[in-house]
Amino acid sequence: MPLDQNDVQGRPIIGLVFNNEGENLFAQITRDNTGKVLGIFLDGTLIEAPYIREEITGGQAVITGDFTLDQAKQVVRDLNYGALPMPITLIGTETIGATLGSEALENGIRAALIGLGLVALFMIAWYRVPGILATLALAVYVLLLLMLFKTIPVTLTAAGIAGFIISIGMAIDANIIIFARMKEEKKVKEAFAHAWTAIRDGQLTTLFGAIILFWFGTSSVEGFALVLGLGTIVSVFSSMVISKIFMYSIYLKN
């Protein structure tokens, strides 16, 4: 637990307090790297890089330097944000790999794939040919969204996976609205035209909510909001462009 204090000369210092596991790990790191610089990273961002003077035992340490009080407080806030009750694993003395939440991330991806498969089966069984076309459009939607994540880039956390799953649901909902209109209108062009209003209103509401969450939320909420917002935009393109192309290719006479 980082704490901001002052040394005997009145300069700000940062105190670190470790639990039992962290105490042993930190003692090993400082013992093996005495005389070197210790990089402290949070979510891939360098927070502080103090010089290791000697092995530090006892579960407590201090970071000194020529930083101001505001700078010390900022470092304390950053370190406290990362002070989560998660296990610490020593990967190496130069590179520390992030393992926080990996199991939750894998479970989230597995849940998304299973859910996507079940929904695809339902769409095909209930809507037949339109359901097959919607499943193809949904596959294109997933590919486009993953390409977008790679381009920006976006790191998928557990919260991001949740936003991804919700955006898939929005894409499926848009296709269901179109199919319902097709049953009423019997023509593809009229079905898409009449479904657009409902799809637009629903997706805009979700998009505005995602923008507000991204603007005012914490880092984990920002990840959820970013993925949800991007997914909402791509889902509109998928339902109103990709699905329309597939529908027109089959129901050309309409």
pLDDT in tens, 198-250: 888 888 888 998 899 888 877 668 888 888 899 889 888 888 888 888 887 77
- Same topology between domain 3-81 and domain 102-250: no
| Sign (positive or negative) of CA dihedral 33, 34, 37, 39 | positive
Kindly report the CATH class assigned to 3-81: alpha beta
The chain-wide mean pLDDT, for the chain, equals 75
Distances (CA, A) of 70 to 49, 126, 249: 17, 61, 63
pLDDT band at 84 (very low <50, low <70, confident <90, very high): very low
Q: What is the largest CA-CA distance in the chain?
A: 86
Which one-letter amino acid corresponds to residue 100? Answer: L
Whole-number Cα distances in Å, 31 to 89, 94, 95? 16, 14, 17
- Closest by Cα among 208, 210, 145 to 171: 145
Q: What CATH homologous superfamily does 102-250 map to?
A: Multidrug efflux transporter AcrB transmembrane domain (1.20.1640.10)
* Residues 15-53 pLDDT 10s: 777 777 778 887 888 888 887 877 766 656 666 677 777
What pLDDT, on a 0 to 100 scale, did the predictor assign at position 200? 86
* 29: nearest Cα among 49, 13, 10, 52: 52
| 109: pLDDT strictly greater than 70 | yes
Domain map of the chain by residue range? 3-81, 102-250
Report the predicted TM-score, pTM, of the whole model to 2 decimal places: 0.53
Q: Pick the more confident residue, 149 or 251.
A: 149
Q: What percent of the chain has pLDDT over 70?
A: 73
